[in-house]
Amino acid sequence: MAKLTEEQKRQRAAKRALRSALDAEADDRRRRAQDERWKREGMRLSWADYVAGKPCQGCGEPMQDGLGDWYPLMKLSESEKREHEEADLRFRERHADCRSGRWSISGSRVTHCCFCCPPPPMGPKQMEKLARLFDSWPSREERKKDLDAWDLTLRCDHVVPHVQHREHSYVSDRVVDCPECGERRGVMSSERVGPAYRDDGTIRERAAAGRERLARELAAAEAKLTRQQKNAAATQRRIAELQDELSSES
């Protein structure tokens, strides 16, 4: 098999990125439609509904069966292993086409589908814990110092800004809103630009960062053109040599 050229590799990578972006858009539409259905039909349980034992509105199974957590498989008896396998089989049969994960509640053995079943409501203790966590967070101005700006190239070829914490080495969002298209588009590629805010807390101008990115791309394109021109010149010389040899032999 002939070795792929750099251009062929680039084209294949672009096709893979496009397929991934299209798949992400389709999955995003599917999940957003399901979320709208949950809201429209009132399928999310309130805390009072949960305490009263109302079943999951997605699959009809109990939210909490009170049987306790499953032990690790190695610690289950033979009968418990069969019971576990049967429960897993029933779940797979109910959600064969959901293409999603599963969730369960501590102290319960019943499992729910991340696509079909609305998540359980948060209780008062969880709300209090979250409130304390938010109170302990640094101020908004302090958090700005740890934020980086990224450029996301979308399937529509538009480039949109994205801001996230500096600890993240990549952008996990696969679909974002495109302000120019007015639609949600799949992310084809991402590039870290640098700090999102200046030292004084104001948002950093992106024009300079954009110029730097374009300058890097221009330099790379010029270097590629120089290599192609050298290769073309070498090919031209070889053609001339072959023509001279042909002429001399005739």
Q: Rounded to whole angstroms, how far apart are CA atoms 19 and 16?
A: 5
Stretch 138-154: mean pLDDT = 89
Name the pTM for this structure.
0.71
Please give the single-letter amino acid code of residue 204: R
Domain ranges of the chain: 9-122, 205-236
User: How far apart, in whole angstroms, are the C-alpha atoms of residue 103 and residue 82?
Assistant: 21
Among 69-73, 113-117, 169-173, the range scoring the smallest mean pLDDT is 69-73
Which regions of the chain does DSSP assign to beta strands (E)? 102-103, 112-113, 147-154, 159-165, 175-178, 183-195
Cα Rg of the chain, angstroms: 28
Token couple for 57: 């509105």
For residue 35, the surrounding DSSP H or E stretch is helix 6-40
| pLDDT tier for residue 167 given thresholds of 50, 70 and 90 | very high
pLDDT at position 237 is 81
